[in-house]
Chain A
Amino acid sequence: MSLRTDLLANVTTALSGSSVSVSSELPWSSGGTELYRKNKKKFYLSETDQDITQLQSTLDTNDVFQTENSLQGFITVDAKNQPADIQTVVSAVLNSRLSVSDYFVRECEASSETEGDEITYTFEYRFVNLI
């Protein structure tokens, strides 16, 4: 399974029973508005961006490389009337990174931005493994 599929499955499990559901669709824009802003209280996950970097360089080009995978997750809710369990939801989304195996770096950073009466939580996932 792909990293996105794994992570999406983990987030789905982590958010079951919460006020936020999970979409398997990509967070594309429709009419200039991102899906996660149109469909509030729904988690969207981007496609995986990959970056291959050198971990150890050698004199005979038997170099050791690592793949840095990054994904972005989004949830938008009503800023004036946030779900009561929003902090639990944020924690659950952050912790879902730990359910992905075989990566030696599993990081996630959450940030929020308020615009009008909406608050959008953005989750920056970063997974690194050896090639």
Chain B
Amino acid sequence: MAYIGVNATADFVTLKLNNSADFSSNIAAAFVAGESANTYDVPSMQEITVNATPGIFRWKQLDSLSEQAITTSSTNNIELTVVLDDTTFYSNTGSSYGILDSVNNKTKTAFRLYWAGESSGDRYIEGEGYLSALAPTVSPDSPVWTSPLTIEIVGDFTTGQEA
């Protein structure tokens, strides 16, 4: 048994995005070496939550003291909060839109989330979805722009391990 710590530099959580093309048929192709010019890491994440929640259909039977249940389709998304970085927020990376334009243009985006580091053998999940819930905020007491961001995922998470 081992905890998944993310406090050491080699174990940082990394979220990579690429929306330079439609990678629906092969998500992993968005993160091969040849796509590095179109891929960017979301920097300065403050928290991140992976939601993989199956729907539940419940019913009652006259011959049972407890409810029955069966799972239905999952709602998958990734919620995070970031300190906005002017490069990844405003600017494109190669042919990929930055965060603001990805939301504005409703561009389907391939993502890969490394749980703890991205060295050989480190685990990740990947998929595609739409960036949403962008709500940048700033205040006199905290004069740095921060924003929540959600990746509303289309389909399943795919798990993998860095080669």
Contact = CB atoms under 8 A, between A and B. Distances in A.
Given A58-B83, A61-B9, A130 B143 contact: yes
Given A56-B83, A104-B140, A62 B43 contact: yes
Residue in A58, A59, A105, A130 with the greatest tally of chain B CB atoms within 10 Å: A59
Size bracket of the B interface: 10 to 19
Contact of A62 (B14, B44, B140): B44
B45 A59 contact: yes
Contacts of B105: none
B12 interface: yes
A56 B159 CA distance: 31
Contacts of B37: none
A73 to B, nearest CB: 24
Interface string A60-91: 11101000000000000000000000000000
A59 B80 CA distance: 11
Size bracket of the A interface: 10 to 19
A64 B83 contact: yes
Contact of A55 (B6, B12, B47, B144): B144
B142 interface: yes
Interface of A: 55-62, 64, 104-105, 130
Interface of B: 6, 9, 12-14, 43-48, 83, 85, 140-144, 146
18 contacts: A56-B44, A56-B144, A57-B46, A58-B43, A59-B6, A59-B13, A59-B46, A59-B48, A60-B12, A60-B13, A60-B14, A60-B43, A60-B44, A60-B45, A62-B43, A104-B140, A104-B141, A130-B143
Given A59-B47, A59-B48, A62-B44, 19 more contacts: A55-B142, A55-B144, A56-B44, A56-B83, A56-B144, A57-B46, A58-B43, A58-B83, A59-B12, A59-B13, A60-B12, A60-B13, A60-B14, A60-B43, A61-B12, A62-B43, A64-B83, A104-B140, A130-B143
